[in-house]
Structure 1
Amino acid sequence: MSGVQKTVLVTLAAVALVIGATVNKVLRPAPLDKAQLSQAGIFLFDAPRPIPEVQMISAKGENWGKADLQGQWNLLFFGYTFCPDICPTTMAELRQVSSGLPEDSRDQLQVTMVSVDPQRDTPEQMNSYLSFFNAGFTGATGQPSELAKLAQALSIAYIEPDTSQDNYLVDHSGQVVIVDPQGRYAGFIRPPLKPTELSQWLPRIMAGQ
């Protein structure tokens, strides 16, 4: 091979590398923009935060804990089944979010309602309530101490009610917690929810883009 031929091959290889890098840059999705996420009500931490182990009960009457938050993305909403307004509205919006996702993203996302009213929200009550939304949602409840441990780790505020009163209400936060597949607190979604925008952003968040 002559010197000229070698020079041509080296030049062609260099051009190919430049073209390949340019095409890859064009095709690669732009990184997530925090300002745009904020407009959609989404806030992601720079580093996910750990979640402690808890011993609770699922809406199916089975043990529920940190392991149930691993292996898929999770959206956790703290509410209760006797809630007259915020909870049914939020759960309906989460159903809208889920139904608006591409099928592969929907299969990788679990929505769980964590009850802040363990006095009335038995597994049977929660299972009946969640079945109304017909969206494959799960639920968890448990002893007040375990609930408080989980809520504190996820920056969820609620006020334990006076359960001696009939038809008591429970004051609680309305944000939705985002948990990554490693079972870590990755961020949160601020109310009011924007289902259409969330359905567009969540697949990119789940893909790490």
Structure 2
Amino acid sequence: MEGRLLRDAARPQVRAKAALLVLVLVLGTALSACSKSSADTFSGAVLHQPYHVPATELTDTDGSPYSLANSTDKRLTLVFFGYTHCPDECPTTMATLASAMLQLDDADRSNVQVVFVTTDPARDTGPVIRHWLDHFSSSFVGVTGSLDTIKKVATDVGVPIAKGRRLPSGGYDVSHGTQVLGVDGKDTVPVVWTLGTTAPEFAHDIHQLLN
């Protein structure tokens, strides 16, 4: 799927919209729990040949070196490649992950980290990413770097990235894979979740993986 440019003039209420999206997801979870247990099956796709996460150095939003292999010290790290100007898949995915984290108990939550890697470093500076992520959760880690380096890391873990078409507004969209990667303590990706996975499904799968 392709992300599309969210025009700057249409973003004055991003924080409120992001908070509302998380609230809607949480409420939807409560309603679905009344009708059925969504914790019956594993929703992620288990890979027969897990990807190996490279130790390639990127940069976090504080400007410090960050590696998906060496800087992830949790038992499970959820990684998503996207960009802050994306109007649909990216904020939806981050809101879903934020809702899923709220559904975990303290023990599980302490063993999980969510990492967002920008696919649009030209516009997504460290402060821009941090401000955007804080709409969803201040615990989420943001990562940037040169586009070539990000593409290399993404390719190594099976995520395609390409700049899309130029838009009439003067901006551009960015094509990127929309899967969420599950990185384990061995720096491999044994499971991925596709777009459309719900917060209860993420929470269930996370619990299963940790236990």
- TM-superposed CA distance for 1:135, in Å, is 4.5
Could you say which residue in structure 2 is the equivalent of 1:63?
65
Among 105, 110, 113, the alignment partner of 1:110 is 113
- TM-superposed CA distance for 1:46, in Å, is 4.1
Could you say which residue in structure 1 is the equivalent of 2:187?
183
Give TM-score, length-normalised by structure 1. 0.75
Q: What pairs up with 1:124-163 in 2 under 5 angstroms?
A: 124-161=127-164
8 Å contact kept, 2:74–2:112: no
Q: Whole-Å Cα distance in 2 between the matches of residues 93 and 198 of structure 1? A: 8
Among 165, 168, 173, the alignment partner of 1:169 is 173
8 Å contact kept, 2:52–2:157: no
Structure number with greater Rg is 1
> Is the partner of 1:128 in helix, strand or coil?
helix
Q: Whole-Å Cα distance in 2 between the matches of residues 162 and 62 of structure 1? A: 32
- TM-superposed CA distance for 1:157, in Å, is 1.3
Unmatched runs of 5 consecutive residues or more in structure 1: 1-34
Structure number having the greater strand percentage: 2
The amino acid that maps onto 2:131 is: S
Q: Whole-Å Cα distance in 1 between the matches of residues 92 and 74 of structure 2? A: 28
Q: Whole-Å Cα distance in 1 between the matches of residues 187 and 207 of structure 2? A: 18
Among 105, 123, 128, the alignment partner of 2:126 is 123
The amino acid that maps onto 1:50 is: H
Q: Per-residue CA shift, 1:77-133, capped at 9, x if unaligned?
A: 110011111111111001011111111111100001110001111111111111111
- Change in Cα spacing, 1:72 to 1:59, as seen in structure 2 (3 Å) is farther
> Is the partner of 2:171 in helix, strand or coil?
coil
Structure number having the greater helix percentage: 1
> Is the partner of 1:177 in helix, strand or coil?
strand
Could you say which residue in structure 2 is the equivalent of 1:10?
none
The amino acid that maps onto 2:59 is: I
> Is the partner of 2:148 in helix, strand or coil?
helix
- TM-superposed CA distance for 1:204, in Å, is 1.3
Q: Per-residue CA shift, 1:42-99, capped at 9, x if unaligned?
A: 0122454321121111022211112112443100011001111111111100101111
Across the aligned residues of Structure 1 and Structure 2, the Cα RMSD in angstroms comes to 2.0
The amino acid that maps onto 2:172 is: Y
- TM-superposed CA distance for 1:179, in Å, is 0.2
Residue-pair matches, total: 170
Unmatched runs of 5 consecutive residues or more in structure 2: 1-39
